Amino acid sequence: MKIINAVKFIFPGISENERTARAVVSAFLVQLDPTVEELADIRTAVSEAVTNAIVHGYRNGSGDVELHMKLLENREIYLRIKDRGCGIPDVEQAMQPLFTTAPEEERAGLGFAVMESFMDKLQVKSKPGQGTTVTMRKKLGEPPCRVK
């Protein structure tokens, strides 16, 4: 698939940067004139992925989070969020709704379920001790008609 535009954003895995990641994604998506709903869905999915990287990936330390954004032909968005944290021993289990590694922090365990519900495709790859990569794709609808 042809890449129309791409941006890579690397930031420290601290909670304040979750908002920054949402803002960067919003700024990148402006070129497509998405609907408010499409923008909200993508921002929410990115927020969940970045929060997972910060809260779970870097639980006992810190590190960078990478956000890769690509605009593909036919108004398809490709997003990849990557950390080099502790990794997930059992991805299938982690993707089950209500599963959390931090019940003492009152985590709902719905991050992956939320990502999956808002995006067309979700893939999670992880290796213990090496980190986690979340890849998401969403095809946007046709742009709204503009009166000139």
Domain span including residue 57: 3-139
In a domain, 68, yes or no: yes
In this prediction, residue 130 carries a pLDDT of 95
High-pLDDT (> 90) share of the chain, %: 70
Q: Which CATH number characterizes residue 100's domain? A: 3.30.565.10
Number of domains in the chain: 1
pTM of structure = 0.89
Our answer to whether residue 52 is catalytic in this structure is yes
DSSP 39-61: HHHHHHHHHHHHHHIIIIITTTS
pLDDT tens digit string along 94-121?
Answer: 888 766 666 666 666 678 889 999 999 9
- Is residue 13 included in any domain, yes or no? yes
Choose the catalytic residue: 17, 52, 84, 116.
52
Selected catalytic residue, list 22, 43, 75, 107: 107
Q: 106 an active-site residue?
A: no
Q: Report yes or no on 148 lying in a domain.
A: no
Q: Which residues make Cβ contacts (< 8 Å) with residue 13, sequence separation at least 6?
A: 53, 54, 57, 58, 62, 63, 64, 65, 83, 85
